[in-house]
A = this chain, B = another copy of it.
Amino acid sequence: MNERSDYINMLESNAVDPTPLREAVLMSIGEDSRPLAAAEIMAAVRSRMSINKVTLYRILDLLVGKGLVKRLSAGDRAYRYGMAKTRHHQAHPHFVCSRCGVMECLEPGLFCIDIRKFQTNSKRIIKYVDVRFEGICESCIKAQK
C-alpha cells in the first residue's frame, strides 16, 4: 500500500520523531486493511523487531493523540486501531464478527444520520457517531460449512 518513507513522512509532518518502533507500529496499522487490536499490532511489529507492550501502548496513545490513528471500539473489551487519514478521508462504519472478533471497514454512505433532528431536541454536544454492524464474517461462515 505505502512505502516506508510514506510512514516516516506522516510521522514527521505530525511533529512525531520517526523512531524505528513508531514507524513499525504505524506501518503495521497502515498495511492492514482492517483495524487491529493492540495484540495484533504487537505480533506484527515483533515479527520484525523487539518491542515492549508498554512502549506499544504509549506509541498508540501518541499516534491517536496526533490524529494519525483512530482508536475504535469493537463492542468487546479490546480497542482496535486503524489509520485515521484514508485516501477519501471519510468516516465509515465498521463490521465486527461476533465469532472471531475481527473488525472490517465498510464503505461510507451506508447509513444516514439525521443529526439536525437530534441536535434540535437535545442539550448534549455531539462530537461524532459510531456505527457498528455485528454478525458473522465471511471466513467464519466458510469455516463452519
Contact = CB atoms under 8 A, between A and B. Distances in A.
Interface of A: 73-77, 95, 97-98, 104, 106, 110-114, 117-118, 123-138, 141
A116 to B, nearest CB: 11
A112 to B, nearest CB: 6
Contact of A132 (B76, B130, B138): B130
- Each complex incorporates copies of this chain amounting to 2
A114 B133 CA distance: 12
Contact of A127 (B98, B106, B110): B98
A136 B124 contact: yes
A19 B133 CA distance: 36
B125 A141 contact: yes
